[in-house]
Structure 1
Amino acid sequence: MTKRERIDQDVLHRRAQVAVLSGLARGDDVHDLVAAAAPTHVPGWFTPDLALLELAVTALDLVCPSGAEPLEYEGLRERCLPEVTFRGRVAHRNSQYALYAAACMRGGLQPDLLSDAGWWQTPLWQYAVFAVVIYSRAAAARLPVPVGEIARQIAASRSLELTA
């Protein structure tokens, strides 16, 4: 019996980004986006937390370029992700963490993702998908352009080719 060959982590990183952005550009629903990123999560080898938070950072750059009016956090999840209900304190805190982690990264502070979220029952990368969607929808509303265009702009800024 042979062990399955491990895929390079850089390849998985880009696959996660392409999967989520391609789905966002097509207009897939948020649960389909989570499902699209799932194959890149290889327990014990790779988790797409950082890959997806990087997309959220880029979306946040689009919604709040330097000197722009700050994005209001209060009610952001309800406005930009109404189809997801965060039940209980843990789900609220986890989704808040993903939004805050992207903002920290944008500001130059790298959060300790493994220590902060490595033990969560629902992995951080799933909440990072929500953060990508929230910040992308906020950017689309503010610019105003379709969410698919925001996804294409994020992909272009990261040199990613989206799939059909």
Structure 2
Amino acid sequence: MKTLPTSEFKILLLIIRRTTGMVDRNDNTKRVQRAWMSQKLFKMCCNLSGRAVSTGIDYLVKKGLIEVTDFNGNILDTPKQRRGKLRLYFASRLRLDSKESPKKKNKACELNCNNPVTPVHTIKLTEIKPSCDMITQGVKRLSDTERYQEIQQKIANTAHQRTD
């Protein structure tokens, strides 16, 4: 994945999001295996041209990262086979198999890749300042009506103290 161009990477992420990222409507315990996606959806979600989408899909099919099928499940490997089809169904070949034992897993990509990612400095995590509503000490934000009632009460108290 580190060697993928930006457009192909966007297309692959969209396919993964629409398949592995979605729960199957019929069976809540399973993920969607393949999903129908139009070229217009790719163009809108990935912000790419139609030509970039077509070449990106072809590149991912040739690399073996995705699988394109028609309605009946027939695999469409070439652009010629995909051309003119009403619906194309996409599936990611990067499926997570929980049945695999940890011994069979491949080594980290940094060891296998020609251009490994260089380690960078770590970013110190800082806490987000809590909103004024959550602070026990200090100012609490009030709505306009609450603030108006508070002012009216102060005026009434000062008027009451002057009369005493």
TM over 0.5: no
The structure with more helix, counted as a fraction of residues: 1
The structure number with the bigger radius of gyration is: 2
The structure with more strand, counted as a fraction of residues: 2
State the structure with bigger RCO (CA 8 A, min sep 6), 1 or 2: 1
